[in-house]
Amino acid sequence: MSDGQTASPSSGTRVAALRARLDAQSGTGPQTSGPARLVRAPGRVNLIGEHTDYNEGLVLPAAIDREFWILFEPWDRPEVVMTSADMDETRSFSFEGLSPETRSKSWIDYVAATAWAMREAGLPIQGFRGAMGSTVPIGSGLSSSAALEMASSWALAVPGAPRPDPAAMAAIAQRAENRYVGVNCGIMDQFASAAGQAGHALLIDCRINKFKATPMPSDLSLVVCDTGSPHRLDASAYNTRRSECELGVELIAEREPGVKALRDVDEAMLARNRDRLPEVVARRCEHVVQEDGRVMATVAALRDGDLDALGRLFAASHASLRDLYEVSSAELDAMVEIAVSVPGVVASRMTGAGFGGCTVNLVKLGAEVALQDAVMAQYEKRTGLTPRVFIVATVDGAGEVELDA
Ligand code: GLA
């Protein structure tokens, strides 16, 4: 079932480290039924289209070279035993009696959730013992959980069994997160990790779960700035936004038959129904309704190399998330302000759920270091927090990596 991905130059060291972890597990069970195999899955950064996925709207994420790796040996036992190299911890779960009630509130839940959702979807799964490592910063909003779910989906899959396409696999992993882990996220993160393409962002239509790859301009770098304030996709703030959007749909649909999601609402329709909506709900809807338009305009600006338009669109998205959707933070605002003052920075905005986490920046080739220097010199002074700056590359979605014999 290998999809023939080739290992990156640094993967030799990574594999050796994971193999040492796997060897240290010997004695955890019976013989394994095959040689070790390696799977990987990337994190993602969203260029634009924020809080639109669960409104059946448009998003434009890219899979990035911050990844989860699992080295594993399948066995004939309905159980997974896994060591996390980063947490320095080994955990396990059994397929027997697997249900959201057996959750352990640890990282292994993401693997167990994926096993549960695959089985619910009628896919055969196999047990294994494995070791995992990651370069996706945890809690920074770059979708470490989606990456772990997608890597797990490859390790759990039975070789030779039909595999759902990446969009369908993403929907299964989203269900794992919604129903098992208990986070009510949309499909964007899992989709980007499953279907990413090197050199491209993905324009995903979350109404029909289909995507189109959009080439990234070769004269722009993608730079992610981590505010160092943990993004809190805490159930309450995220879910409140979701229910505000749902209430907006419900109230608009009373007068506008056929409205099933905010995707069906345009600016004129929102304006003529605004009097029916509580003020805060009206603002949430305004963000979502306008953000879809900015996604399409960004795709056009990337295609045309229109750097001014990219700058305006990212700025408008950030302002809307700050003022209308209210998911930015003082730290994210400071990070964007610093970035846009640097010559060569084309566009900057918060990315992901918000409430902390990272900004995404499009930067002219050669200006990356100036951005990094400006962030290092100014951000900590302004916020008291230590930032991190990652120059990232877009990569292919999750898959198996061929190991050297
Ligand atoms: C998180 C969720 C996504 C999406 C973004 C906001 O990353 O997991 O589904 O809703 O927030 O755009």
Å from CA of 141 to ligand 1 middle: 9
Q: What pLDDT does residue 2 have?
A: 41
Q: Is the CB of 177 under 6 A from ligand 1?
A: no
Q: Please report whether residue 240 resides in a domain.
A: no
Q: Is the CB of 58 under 6 A from ligand 1?
A: no
Q: Is the CB of 53 under 6 A from ligand 1?
A: yes
The CATH number of whichever domain residue 149 belongs to comes to 3.30.230.10
Å from CA of 91 to ligand 1 middle: 28
Q: Please report whether residue 88 resides in a domain.
A: yes
Q: For 278-307, how does the pLDDT look when each residue is reduced to its tens digit (9 = 90+)?
A: 999 999 999 999 999 999 999 999 999 999
Q: Please report whether residue 361 resides in a domain.
A: no
3-state secondary structure 207-262: CCCEEEEEECCCCEEEEEEECCCCCCCCHHHHHHHHHHHHHHHHHHHHHCCCCCCH
Q: What pLDDT does residue 7 have?
A: 53
Site to substitute for ligand 1 among 52, 53, 136, most atoms within 8 A of C-beta: 53
Q: For 90-143, how does the pLDDT look when each residue is reduced to its tens digit (9 = 90+)?
A: 999 999 999 999 899 899 999 999 999 999 999 999 999 999 999 998 888 899
Q: Please report whether residue 42 resides in a domain.
A: yes
Q: What pLDDT does residue 1 have?
A: 37
- How far apart CA 349 and CA 332 sit, in angstroms, is 8
Domain that holds residue 125: 5-215+397-402
- How far apart CA 289 and CA 332 sit, in angstroms, is 23
What letter does residue 337 receive in the DSSP assignment?
A: H
Would you tell me how many other CB atoms lie within 10 Å of the CB of residue 272? 12
Active site residues: 189
Q: For 32-49, how does the pLDDT look when each residue is reduced to its tens digit (9 = 90+)?
A: 667 899 999 999 999 999
Would you tell me how many other CB atoms lie within 10 Å of the CB of residue 405? 4
Q: Is the CB of 189 under 6 A from ligand 1?
A: yes
Q: Please report whether residue 207 resides in a domain.
A: yes
Average pLDDT over residues 202-210: 98
Q: Is the CB of 133 under 6 A from ligand 1?
A: no
- What are residue 185's phi and psi, to 5 degrees? -75, 165
Average pLDDT over residues 17-29: 83
Asked if 331 and 339 count as a contact pair (C-beta separation under 8 A), the reply is no
Q: Please report whether residue 83 resides in a domain.
A: yes
The pTM assigned to this predicted structure is 0.95
Average pLDDT over residues 395-404: 94
Average pLDDT over residues 153-172: 97
Q: For residue 12, what are its two tokens?
A: 């030799």
Ligand 1 atom nearest the C-alpha of 146 is 8
3-state secondary structure 23-91: HCCCCCCCCCCCCCEEEEEEEEEECCCCCCHHHCCEECEEEEEEEEEEEEEEECCCEEEEEECCCCEEE
Domain count along the chain: 1
Q: For 71-88, how does the pLDDT look when each residue is reduced to its tens digit (9 = 90+)?
A: 999 999 999 999 999 999
Question: What confidence tier does 12 reach under pLDDT thresholds 50, 70, 90?
Answer: confident
Ligand 1 atom nearest the C-alpha of 54 is 10
Q: Is the CB of 325 under 6 A from ligand 1?
A: no
Q: Please report whether residue 196 resides in a domain.
A: yes
Q: Please report whether residue 89 resides in a domain.
A: yes
Residue 129, classed as helix, strand or coil, is strand
Q: For 261-272, how does the pLDDT look when each residue is reduced to its tens digit (9 = 90+)?
A: 999 999 999 999
